[in-house]
Amino acid sequence: MSKEYQNYVNGKWTNAKSKAIRDIRDPGNGELVAAVPECQKEDIALAIDAAREAFDHGPWRKLTAQDRGKILFKIAEGIRAKSKDLAELEVRNCGKPLAEAEFDVADAANCFEFYGGLATKIHGETMQVPANSLSFVLREPIGVCGQIIPWNYPLLMAAWKLAPALAAGNTCVLKPSELTPLTALELGEILMRVELYPGVVNIVTGPGTGAGEELSANSKVDKVAFTGGTVTGRKVMTAATSNLKKISLELGGKNPNIVFANADLEAAIDGALFGAFANQGEVCSAGSRLLVEKSIHKKIVDGMLQKIPKIKLGHGLTSGVKMGPLISAAHREKVESYIKIGIEEGAKLVCGGKRPTGKEFASGNFLEPTIFDHVKPNMRIAREEIFGPVLSVISFETEEEAIRIANDTEYGLAAAVWTRDVNRAIRVVQQIRAGITWVNTYHPTFNELPWGGYKQSGIGRELGLYGIEEYLETKQVNINLDEAPIGWY
């Protein structure tokens, strides 16, 4: 049974002015899950006005940091109280396996809790200056924050954006992806239950064209934070110049996963598959380029092929499923176009590349986990972000060659190194141009540590102490302790 949702604006539930709605369907079976408002510029403008009023004249920014932190703790409790329902809704909305959705929901609660504790740890500094002055630095909220999140981690990305912004004392307008808005809207119900002040958080649904554009360009917005593709990130950055908004961008990646011959090969094989196929490969930090030392190339590829049958495809709510459907039919076609490109470029398709057959797959956007071998670094499948379950295997002979191939990309989000040689691990990690690196593992993310990339993978950082810095202004204060006139004139 489907549910009709409304926007959460100024502490109330509202429809789009046009009354337009969008149907949300389960990518695993095509069933109607919900209907949501299809907002345009005027709806976003109203949400921005509510956030502006709440910041400029409401009580939120005047609260003590301790009181703001307590509210974030309540939000975390609210997420945990609904964790089962939220996880199942996440599966039905974006397709991921239930185990992954359960982890995401738990981590979203942890994120609010982390920033709830951090709210009281925002501090400035005092400085000795060459004058009789009490001089110090204050950290203050930026103001109204427009936040645009993607479809692959709906609730978790909402937490990554909202939690640090609220801890810092800002007000927010959150726009989830038009494809996966449901758990973000359910979060609105939690905010209402904890009696968050009206206008502090506003959640509006709608497409990037119109809704996202207004949030990026509106002059009443002081900062825009965006997670998504690099092409769209450039558009957001351009729109933000309307009033020189502060921006943070978490964008795409074509991430190298490097395996040396002295690695634990069994662990590396597991890590390669998990890095490439977790969340159907619809992950900005996916290890979509597997760089393998030539002497172990065949062992790694054969080892992956032996384990591929264990990656059970199916609806995310089906027991034992390890990989669900892609987000939409259009996105599956895009991924399939890259598979065709890989074949045409001369890479060897060693598994997958097709839609699975069977009644249980007929109505969903399923695609088999796909591995290309003998990929050259200049091939498009090795350079462009596919954002799906497609892994490109590239051979190298020396450490220097591995580093060169790893860095030969416009992106710089994530990378991993597999080796038992700690000196080599540190040496390689130091030379890789990426913001997130792992040694002998892939994908772990921690609320306590910064997340973000080099080069065209983005600007700024999320999570950790660095994440809250993105939502703070820095103010210099000087108090003259000499009561006499300056005597300049």
Active site residues: 250, 284
Beta-carbon neighbour count of residue 427 at 10 Å?
14
Size (the chain), residues = 489
Residue 148 half-sphere exposure toward CB, CA atoms < 13 A: 33
Checking DSSP bridges between strand 436-439 and strand 414-418, what pairing results, if any? Answer: parallel
Q: How many Å apart are CA 297 and CA 307, to the nearest integer?
A: 16
CB-count exposure of residue 450 (10 Å: 0-12, 13-18, 19+): middle
HEC states along the chain? CCEECCEEECCEEECCCCCCEEEEECCCCCCEEEEEECCCHHHHHHHHHHHHHHHHHCCHHHCCHHHHHHHHHHHHHHHHHCHHHHHHHHHHHHCCCHHHHHHHHHHHHHHHHHHHHHHHHCCCEEECCCCCEEEEEEEEECCEEEEECCCCCHHHHHHHHHHHHHHCCCEEEEECCCCCCHHHHHHHHHHHHCCCCCCCEEECCCCHHHHHHHHHHCCCCCEEEEECCHHHHHHHHHHHHHCCCEEEEECCCCCEEEECCCCCHHHHHHHHHHHHHHHHHCCCCCCCEEEEEHHHHHHHHHHHHHHHHHCCECCCCCCCCCECCCCCHHHHHHHHHHHHHHHHHCCEEEECCCCCCCHHHCCCCCCCCEEEECCCCCCHHHCCCCCCCEEEEEEECCHHHHHHHHHCCCEECEEEEECCCHHHHHHHHHHCCCCEEEECCCCCCCCCCCECCEECCEECCECHHHHHHCCEEEEEEEEECCCCCCCCC
The conformational region for residue 210 under phi > 0 = left, psi -120 to 50 = alpha, else beta, is left
Question: 162 and 146 in contact (C-beta within 8 Å)?
Answer: no
* Whether the Cβ atoms of residue 111 and residue 159 lie closer than 8 Å to each other: yes
d(CA 165, CA 17): 28
